[in-house]
């Protein structure tokens, strides 16, 4: 749901995301909607574009599945790049040093709001 006169979108209730859990989202319709995902980590929530800087693939192969087994990093299912949850920086794999596209994200009345670039 788009907020009036802005590029902010209400994505989800915060309690719909488990601790160390993720939630995919899509904004827009037609041929080129924006695909992203939320990560709840500790007391914080992060939002990223679902686009790997290595080869441009989406990061996940199954719904809402973006984390390593220990749930401490983001992993790309295509070739195994590992990303820091807080910064989006690739710390291991074929694109070390590159970053996921991080989105502004905040909570308002229990809703997770993201701001598209």
Return the number of the residue (52 or 113) whose C-beta is nearest ligand FES: 52
**Is 82 in contact with 74 (CB distance < 8 Å)?**
yes
Return the number of the residue (81 or 112) whose C-beta is nearest ligand FES: 81
Tokens of 27: 């904004």
For ligand FES, the binding residues in 72-91 under the rule CB under 6 A are 76, 78-81
Tokens of 117: 């670039």
> Binding-site residue total for ligand FES (CB under 6 A)?
11
Return the number of the residue (55 or 101) whose C-beta is nearest ligand FES: 55
Kindly give the pairing relationship between strand 8-13 and strand 73-75. Answer: unpaired
Return the number of the residue (57 or 111) whose C-beta is nearest ligand FES: 57
> Should residue 93 be labelled a site residue for ligand FES when binding is judged by CB under 6 A?
yes
Of 25, 7, 8, 26, the closest CA to residue 16 belongs to 25
**Is 98 in contact with 53 (CB distance < 8 Å)?**
yes
Q: Contact positions toward ligand FES, by CB under 6 A?
A: 52, 54-55, 57, 76, 78-81, 93-94
């Amino acid at each position: 749901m788009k907020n009036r006169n802005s590029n902010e979108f209400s994505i989800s209730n915060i309690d719909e995301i488990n601790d160390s859990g993720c939630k995919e989202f899509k904004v827009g319709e037609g041929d080129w909607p924006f695909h992203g995902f939320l990560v709840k980590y500790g007391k914080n929530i992060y939002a990223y574009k679902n686009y790997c800087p290595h080869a441009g693939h989406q990061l996940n192969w199954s719904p809402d599945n973006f984390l390593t087994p220990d749930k401490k990093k983001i992993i790309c299912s295509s070739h195994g790049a590992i990303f820091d949850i807080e910064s989006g920086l690739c710390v291991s794999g074929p694109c070390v040093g590159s970053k996921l596209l991080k989105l502004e994200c905040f909570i308002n009345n229990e809703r997770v709001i993201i701001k598209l670039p």
